[in-house]
Amino acid sequence: MPLRLAPAEIFSQLKSQRFLLVNPRRRNGLIIFKHYYAEFAGPGAAVGGTVDVDCLGVFPVGDLELLEPSSPEDRQRGCATRRQWVQLIRKITSEELPEKRAKMIMEQFQHYFDGKAIAQLPDDTFAQLVGVLPQTIRKIRDI
């Protein structure tokens, strides 16, 4: 059954270790804030469980819809998809130049989401995803 929750409710679910999936059939995702960085869980990714119990906050991207896995295979697929999203962000953060990291994350999000969804994401949120200053994101947005 699809869940459409407010950010505070999503945060509460993650803190309680509830295991959920980002709907793989929608252009949606969840940014999960940790102590010194943020992670992105895109379509199909698992969220919650013991992986996100240390989260400090969340930011839904697009029209977020969460699902409960209906089988162990769904759970495994969700975990594998989450690893793929983490690897994508890791690839971006391995770029040495902050401006290039900022440009790469913006391009990735433009590939998956519409302009309205991207415009709603604060500069500091993008910055935490790829380890740059919010001013660097602003500079890339203004180009």
pTM metric for this prediction: 0.93
Residue 95: inside a domain: yes
How many domains does the chain divide into? 1
- Residue 55, domain member (yes or no): yes
Written in H, E and C, the secondary structure of 85-118 is HHHHHHHHHCCCCHHHHHHHHHHHHHHHCCHHHH
In a domain, residue 115? The reply is yes
Give the amino acid at 17. Q
Instruction: Tell me the backbone φ, ψ of residue 48, rounded to 5 degrees.
Output: 90, -150
| 70-112 confidence digits (pLDDT tens) | 999 999 999 999 999 999 999 999 999 999 999 999 999 999 8
For the chain, percent of residues with pLDDT exceeding 70: 99
Q: Average the pLDDT over 14-30 and give the result.
A: 96
For residue 74, being part of any structural domain is answered with: yes
pLDDT band, very low/low/confident/very high, at 1 (cuts 50, 70, 90) = low
